[in-house]
A and B are shown apart, each in its own frame.
Chain A
């Protein structure tokens, strides 16, 4: 297995920038998830690593060689496609065998490797079938088997689970992580699904409009989003954000928001002052809000959604903005239509610069 590095990589299609100055260093045996909405350039980045697209600028390193001028077939990476891209006219055996045949592995060794991989992925009894005779989950495993059979330097996966149903997806997610640990494989995994990102990767790289927004451990990205895009993209329901003007009340800095004000702690206040901001975006995750009957930001409860293990309470502030509060099932739910107050712990506040979207303070 090997490390993969992108160094100031850009890609333009007919003047449109798909990937903009992307630098990521993926360590050996790391599971990196590249996360972003559709069209953010994540698939393009992956395809450049695979050699299916040529970067307009920058260098790509796999293992210890720069591969910009190396053809896809010689890059020693394996890819799992969203569509699985199984060869429909070949049996499962021939599909898994194909990368080995291309590399002229002797037939005995080839058969042994195919059998071993098929065994480990529970495909042994399907080796003589064609892909059309398999279920979605089985096809997905054949695509995986074809990727792992030749022990490449790195695995590239382009939304490999998005064609599976919810239940199978959750199961396969866990199996993939287990497989990655067992093979000690370097995996670059592209997805738009934040659950996959949070649960599978050692690190998450968040991309938007071709630009890397943040890279870090899933928990860090969740707890300290670098900007508003990341803050709103990761988390379900997403982070509540409210714009407020910066005011000074009795010497202390506060953010004046519809219906009340939120005091800014000293460190935050310093950061806001240093930047000379007169407005900020305050963000609070739904699970960090709680209801209070006497004080806080006034809100009106409109809908209570129960998911069984938790509850999403949707409220409107005085200016009709929507705010979501997430409660445990055991907590007391407010009645729909009632008026209440919302309170957040000071250390649960995220503050962003409204013009740049960047995080302010620690």
Chain B
């Protein structure tokens, strides 16, 4: 092709075209306003204000004025042994609940993923805890573990002191309650994930000579990886924010062995009436949760196969 020196002038957007683009931008901004107001009022402003509250140290006795201490309070609280113990407890709690919960949900999902008569009844039973509130779960397990009337003593499984007052076992007991209570949701998630594994892939694997375990390991599990990944991230966030079962079963005790971050925040604010310290803890929880989710996405998502 011959090079031409007289290039045609590039036509710029016409005035009417520009006017239309401006109108569209105004419309877009207008449409975003309601969402921005709601998020601003209920999410962004509290977040920023909470951060700001952390700069004020509250007096030991109510009635005296609080005073500005800048980052001093952040430093003091975040390096305190109470805080570090609470973080450790929270992490252990998440490690106890998330993998076991997902494993159990997946197991039940596989069991219920069969063409059997009356399987619908089992599916209903397995998913029933989704309709059970934390309070109900806590009451049920509190009763089961009650030293006088509970199931555990009746089975001869007793500890001294009793399980919910036992520093070694209290966190495990709360974790078991949590796993049970979230099992319905995990089961539904895993069951729907299993539904999305194409039958012909499993059939192809059967004809290809793969046994039950091999089919599960090489076909079902990889095809479920997006679901499992989602469950890990969301489940961890939930675990970091567990509160109700701890408040109802152990109140953070015994010896602060179940003092997870949310309960620590609540206790600091309500019992110790220290909003400044509570604000620092809340900021810490926010960033810990954020970091955890980001780390999981960075580390785990590489192993997730979204291809269909």
Do the two chains bind?
Answer: yes
Residues of A within 8 A of B (CB): 50-52, 71-75, 77-79, 81, 83, 85, 87-89, 98-99, 102-103, 130-132, 146, 150, 156
- Write out the residue numbers on chain A whose beta carbons fall within 8 Å of the beta carbon of B210: 73, 98, 102
Q: Are B207 and A89 in touch, CB under 8 angstroms?
A: no
A73, A87, A88, A103: the one contacting B207 at CB < 8 Å is A73
Q: Are A73 and B209 in touch, CB under 8 angstroms?
A: yes
Q: Is B110 an interface residue (CB 8 A)?
A: no
Q: Are B201 and A73 in touch, CB under 8 angstroms?
A: no
Q: Is B218 an interface residue (CB 8 A)?
A: yes
B198, B209, B305: the one contacting A85 at CB < 8 Å is B198
If the complex has contacts A81-B200, A85-B200, A85-B201, are A51 and B307 also in contact, measured as CB distance less than 8 A?
A: no
Per CB-CB distance, the 5 closest pairs between chain A and chain B, nearest first, are A102-B209, A89-B305, A85-B204, A99-B208, A85-B200
Q: Are B222 and A72 in touch, CB under 8 angstroms?
A: no
Q: Are B204 and A89 in touch, CB under 8 angstroms?
A: no
Q: Is B158 an interface residue (CB 8 A)?
A: no
Q: Are B305 and A79 in touch, CB under 8 angstroms?
A: no
Q: Are A78 and B307 in touch, CB under 8 angstroms?
A: no
Q: In the complex, which range does the number of interface residues on chain B fall in?
A: 20 to 34
A17 to B222, CA, bound (A): 36
- Write out the residue numbers on chain A whose beta carbons fall within 8 Å of the beta carbon of B205: 87, 98, 102
28 A-B pairs within 8 Å (CB atoms) are namely: A50-B203, A52-B203, A52-B206, A72-B203, A72-B207, A73-B207, A73-B209, A74-B209, A78-B207, A79-B204, A81-B204, A83-B198, A85-B198, A87-B201, A87-B205, A87-B219, A87-B222, A88-B223, A89-B223, A89-B305, A89-B307, A98-B205, A98-B218, A99-B209, A102-B205, A102-B208, A102-B211, A156-B207
Other than the given A73-B211, A132-B307, 7 more pairs (CB < 8 A) read: A73-B206, A73-B208, A79-B207, A81-B200, A81-B204, A89-B225, A102-B205
- Write out the residue numbers on chain B whose beta carbons fall within 8 Å of the beta carbon of A156: 207
If the complex has contacts A73-B210, A87-B219, A102-B210, are A131 and B203 also in contact, measured as CB distance less than 8 A?
A: no
Question: Which of B207, B210, B211 counts the most A-chain CB atoms under 10 A from its CB?
Answer: B207
Q: Is B214 an interface residue (CB 8 A)?
A: yes
CB-CB nearest in chain A for B209: A102
Q: Is B17 an interface residue (CB 8 A)?
A: no
Q: Is B308 an interface residue (CB 8 A)?
A: yes
A51 to B218, CA, bound (A): 20
A165 to B209, CA, bound (A): 31
If the complex has contacts A102-B210, A103-B209, are A88 and B204 also in contact, measured as CB distance less than 8 A?
A: no
- Write out the residue numbers on chain A whose beta carbons fall within 8 Å of the beta carbon of B204: 79, 81, 85, 87
If the complex has contacts A52-B203, A85-B200, A85-B203, are A98 and B208 also in contact, measured as CB distance less than 8 A?
A: yes
A50 to B202, CA, bound (A): 13
Q: Are B207 and A50 in touch, CB under 8 angstroms?
A: yes
A110 CB, min distance to chain B CBs, angstroms:
13
A88 to B210, CA, bound (A): 16
A52, A71, A83, A146: the one contacting B208 at CB < 8 Å is A146
B72-92 interface code vs A (CB 8 A; 1 in, 0 out): 000000000000000000000
A130 to B308, CA, bound (A): 10
CB-CB nearest in chain A for B307: A88
- Write out the residue numbers on chain A whose beta carbons fall within 8 Å of the beta carbon of B307: 88-89, 130-132
A139 CB, min distance to chain B CBs, angstroms:
12
A84 CB, min distance to chain B CBs, angstroms:
9
- Write out the residue numbers on chain B whose beta carbons fall within 8 Å of the beta carbon of A130: 307
CB-CB nearest in chain B for A71: B206
A71, A81, A89, A132: the one contacting B222 at CB < 8 Å is A89
- Write out the residue numbers on chain A whose beta carbons fall within 8 Å of the beta carbon of B214: 102
A14 to B225, CA, bound (A): 35
In chain B, residues 197-242, which have Cβ atoms closer than 8 Å to a Cβ of chain A? 198, 200-201, 203-211, 214, 218-219, 222-223, 225
Q: Are B207 and A51 in touch, CB under 8 angstroms?
A: yes
CB-CB nearest in chain A for B208: A99
A71 to B211, CA, bound (A): 9
Q: Are B201 and A72 in touch, CB under 8 angstroms?
A: no
Q: Are A83 and B207 in touch, CB under 8 angstroms?
A: no
- Write out the residue numbers on chain B whose beta carbons fall within 8 Å of the beta carbon of A98: 205, 208, 210, 218
- Write out the residue numbers on chain A whose beta carbons fall within 8 Å of the beta carbon of B223: 88-89
A81 to B219, CA, bound (A): 16
A352 to B306, CA, bound (A): 56
Q: Are A72 and B305 in touch, CB under 8 angstroms?
A: no
B219 CB, min distance to chain A CBs, angstroms:
6
- Write out the residue numbers on chain B whose beta carbons fall within 8 Å of the beta carbon of A150: 209
B216 CB, min distance to chain A CBs, angstroms:
13
CB-CB nearest in chain A for B223: A89
CB-CB nearest in chain B for A102: B209
Question: Which of A78, A88, A130, A156 counts the most B-chain CB atoms under 10 A from its CB?
Answer: A88
Question: Which of B209, B214, B222, B305 counts the most A-chain CB atoms under 10 A from its CB?
Answer: B209
- Write out the residue numbers on chain B whose beta carbons fall within 8 Å of the beta carbon of A88: 223, 305, 307-308
CB-CB nearest in chain B for A50: B207
A26 to B222, CA, bound (A): 38
Q: Are B203 and A81 in touch, CB under 8 angstroms?
A: yes
- Write out the residue numbers on chain B whose beta carbons fall within 8 Å of the beta carbon of A51: 206-207
B224 CB, min distance to chain A CBs, angstroms:
11
- Write out the residue numbers on chain B whose beta carbons fall within 8 Å of the beta carbon of A89: 222-223, 225, 305, 307
CB-CB nearest in chain A for B221: A89
A359 CB, min distance to chain B CBs, angstroms:
38
